[in-house]
């Protein structure tokens, strides 16, 4: 089944982040507790990665720089939107626990421009509305309040 809204959200994310350069490497080994995971993280094809692959390189995510987090934001949100679980069905929803707190860190969100913020908020609002609604999730609202874009409850 074709979902025009979902396709539009993914296209907007891609366009908003198209000029963000890929840091090389995405994660350095300084401070790493698991160099093998950092290597996996750096070698992952983030254009098609699944949540399972994200987990295999988790140490890289833990220690990567704010610039790497910005580079990966649209790709990880696409993973979440498309439910790219990998080995375990439903696992991509766990990505929200990894990604959203980092997007609330000033050293990360201060690197975002208004177009990127808008694309992220629309993508997260879509997930709030279509998947997390039973819990009355308002992750998009939480992000907007954190970024100083919304004063509401």
pLDDT digits (tens, 9 = 90+) for 105-146: 999 999 999 999 999 999 999 998 988 777 778 899 999 999
Structural domain boundaries, residue 41: 4-146
Whole-angstrom distance, CA of residue 113 vs CA of residue 86: 31
8 A C-beta contact, residue 145 and residue 152? yes
Contacts for 149 with CB less than 8 Å, ≥ 6 apart: 117, 121
- Which parts of 1-153 are beta strand (E)? none
Instruction: Count up the domains in the chain and report the number.
Output: 1
Residue 52, domain member (yes or no): yes
Residue 80 counted as domain residue: yes
Is residue 153 assigned to a domain?
no
Please give the model's pTM, rounded to 2 decimal places.
Answer: 0.91
| pLDDT attached to residue 153 | 56
Whole-number average pLDDT of the chain: 91
In a domain, 151, yes or no: no
Residue 28 lies in a domain: yes
Confirm whether 40 is domain-assigned. Answer: yes
What is the model's pLDDT at position 132? 77
User: Is 45 a domain residue?
Assistant: yes
**Ramachandran region, residue 37 (left: φ > 0; alpha: ψ -120 to 50; beta: rest):** alpha
CB 59, CB 29: distance < 8 Å: no
């Amino acid at each position: 089944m074709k979902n025009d809204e979902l396709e539009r959200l993914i296209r907007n994310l891609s366009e908003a982040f198209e000029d963000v350069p890929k840091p090389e490497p995405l994660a350095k080994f300084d401070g790493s507790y698991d160099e093998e995971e950092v290597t996996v993280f750096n070698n992952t094809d983030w254009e098609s990665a699944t949540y399972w692959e994200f987990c295999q390189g988790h140490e890289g995510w833990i220690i990567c720089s704010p610039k790497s987090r910005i580079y990966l934001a649209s790709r990880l949100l696409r993973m979440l939107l498309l439910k790219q679980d990998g080995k375990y069905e439903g696992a991509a929803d766990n990505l929200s626990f990894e990604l959203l707190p980092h997007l609330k860190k000033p050293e990360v969100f201060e690197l975002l421009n208004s177009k990127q913020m808008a694309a992220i908020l629309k993508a997260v609002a879509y997930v709030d509305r279509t998947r997390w609604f039973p819990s009355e999730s308002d992750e998009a609202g939480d992000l907007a309040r954190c970024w100083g874009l919304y004063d509401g409850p």
